[in-house]
Chains A and B, each alone.
Chain A
């Protein structure tokens, strides 16, 4: 290809090389620069990463099914991005802090968030599913790219405290056009903040191909901000792990931020309200299926003499168990108390809101009197499937 060639997404000027340690067919590629970062990753660890990816894919398909059955309002699937998420999650220490978008379900799983907690938000019963300080993972962010600044500020704080922990910001290719992400790269660079910018380039921002966001590989932008840019095969869990470890180590040593572009693919729709058939073809999907992040690890393990039939059995059994628990927990999750709508708007007493709350409580109390009509809070639940397309961008 020459720089003027256009790829299937129409606009990308040229596919830059990326680092790959395991090929789609399961061969190990040696890389003198990256191999030392995963020298300790033996077959057992790879087996665990494989199992994690199987489980999160199962959580994801279960969530999509739950949405189709009316149990969730909306779901943004991660399918296809398991290696990018599990590989990078595995590189983190417990005391590192994760700032994610709304698609990093594998990060939540890896940081021991119960899947039902994760899904409660998409069921609409809670504004968030977990206490960020119990998992060192922030509440997922829906505003595109906003969390990059939060991760940067957090990292500035870590540096001023003298901590050797780091933060990591997850965002997609679409987010790289947002001011917040670019401003985060400036601040992080200026203050040598120990933060890793982890971009999952999944090729699509709803219907817009990555070429509309960037005419060159996203990782190359790092140079303009004065930090290393690493471009890795995001469907190769080992390469992702190596790159993230490199970036985290640099951050811990006070050398500042890095930008990782994990080249991956969103195999599903943007959300359950999206219809990818309107903007991309089957051939592209088929091509990416050949590069599936899960099957290539299995192929590599197979080639290394691991009993993959047993491994698959174990992983499937765990995935089935997690999915069954998730389904049981989420479908029995009741609606929150009506007056809880006023909770936590402020940390301190607020005269205005207290008055509004008291007035609404009086209004609701009218329906408790005999012979009154049914309370609207119980009778007017919106249709779970009524979410509009692009409701979450």
Chain B
């Protein structure tokens, strides 16, 4: 076991993937000489050369479109999108090409492309640097979407994403980049849980609390705080947003009867809506209350001095827990 920051764990995962398979190539803006704006690719160009760790011209469509061509040729491109809000110029290539080529080619052309996206807010950044675009991609057939929340998962899940024959949108919680955790660098991929599996982080009996990415730590803190009030939260880290591993959520809700979903992204058409609907369909008769969503507002990401009013924090999550439990809360007495 080694203590690594999440960024260093990703770096170690990339190094391992580059060493294990010479078809793996890293592409992105400023990822070579600079080592990436978050230093996730630090030192890799020096170690593997400019044809394996490629500084690309500033074009997200170009990055992803050329990755498609490389995948056609048998490569496993790992593309870094510098910031979440910069992914949109590449959106067409992701949705119309990366996601559909395996289907369009009737299974003959594989698209083992990993698209790494630092996502989410909380770092006081400029506009377009704090977004949570994951639902666009979870909505798109043909893509897999995952979000890591801690260094150990980051190290393993990134290697799993690169090894996957399906294209993977890999979301990295940027405000957790510098938080350390234990990483087992000797762990084999075969022994690790697959990236498609959710993780139940704390057992609880009153409310099931589902989240992913940076909010996983907030949810754990909320569980600790709730415990002091005698409320027992079961925290589930989704890890995979497409497909969603419903089994542990469903099993949990059958016990707790109450579901809260938290994410930084806006509410409308988001992951919370999908999970609330699916769990309602699967185990309606076990629900004691309507599922609750604690999300960012449906607004463009606000200026840094306002982001704390946008991002769900510990107290907003606990307010949602109170709604699920029918305890006094911010919406008490308000018609739904």
Which one of B57, B65, B75, B108 contacts A132 once the chains associate, using CB atoms below 8 Å? B108
Q: A179-B89, A183-B62, A352-B244 are in contact. Are A347 and B102 (CB under 8 A)?
A: yes
CB distance from B215 to the nearest CB of A (A): 22
Q: Counting CB contacts under 8 A, is A350 at the interface?
A: yes
CB distance from A163 to the nearest CB of B (A): 9
Is there contact, CB below 8 Å, between B142 and A132? Answer: no
Q: Give the interface size class of chain B.
A: 35 or more
Please, which residues of chain B bring their CB within 8 A of the CB of A187? Answer: 56-57, 59, 62, 66
Which one of A146, A157, A346 contacts B73 once the chains associate, using CB atoms below 8 Å? A157
Nearest residue in A to B59 (C-beta to C-beta)?
Answer: A183
Q: Counting CB contacts under 8 A, is A296 at the interface?
A: no
How many of chain A's residues have a CB under 8 angstroms from any CB in B? Answer: 43
Is there contact, CB below 8 Å, between B59 and A345? Answer: no
Which one of B64, B112, B196 contacts A351 once the chains associate, using CB atoms below 8 Å? B196
Which one of B62, B74, B242, B245 contacts A149 once the chains associate, using CB atoms below 8 Å? B62
Q: Mark B95-113, 1 if CB is under 8 A from A, else 0.
A: 0110001111111111110
Q: A133-B108, A180-B65 are in contact. Are A345 and B244 (CB under 8 A)?
A: no
CB distance from A369 to the nearest CB of B (A): 25
Chain A interface mostly:
helix
Please report the C-alpha to C-alpha distance between residue A96 and residue B64 in the assembled complex, in whole angstroms.
22
Which one of A127, A139, A152, A348 contacts B66 once the chains associate, using CB atoms below 8 Å? A152
Q: A153-B69, A187-B62 are in contact. Are A348 and B93 (CB under 8 A)?
A: no
Q: Mark B18-62, 1 if CB is under 8 A from A, else 0.
A: 000000010000000000000000000000000100001101011
Q: Counting CB contacts under 8 A, is B243 at the interface?
A: yes
Please, which residues of chain B bring their CB within 8 A of the CB of A183? Answer: 57, 59, 61-62, 65
Is there contact, CB below 8 Å, between B69 and A149? Answer: yes
Which one of B61, B72, B141, B165 contacts A180 once the chains associate, using CB atoms below 8 Å? B61
Which one of A126, A150, A190 contacts B57 once the chains associate, using CB atoms below 8 Å? A190
Q: Mark B286-300, 1 if CB is under 8 A from A, else 0.
A: 000000000000000
Q: What are 23 A-B interface contacts by the 8 Å CB criterion? A: A97-B73, A128-B105, A131-B106, A132-B72, A132-B105, A132-B109, A146-B93, A146-B96, A149-B61, A149-B62, A149-B93, A150-B72, A153-B68, A154-B73, A155-B69, A156-B69, A157-B74, A158-B73, A167-B69, A184-B65, A343-B106, A345-B141, A346-B144
Chain A contacts to B: CB under 8 angstroms = 97, 99, 126-128, 131-133, 138-139, 143, 146, 148-158, 160-161, 167, 179-180, 183-184, 186-187, 190, 343-348, 350-353
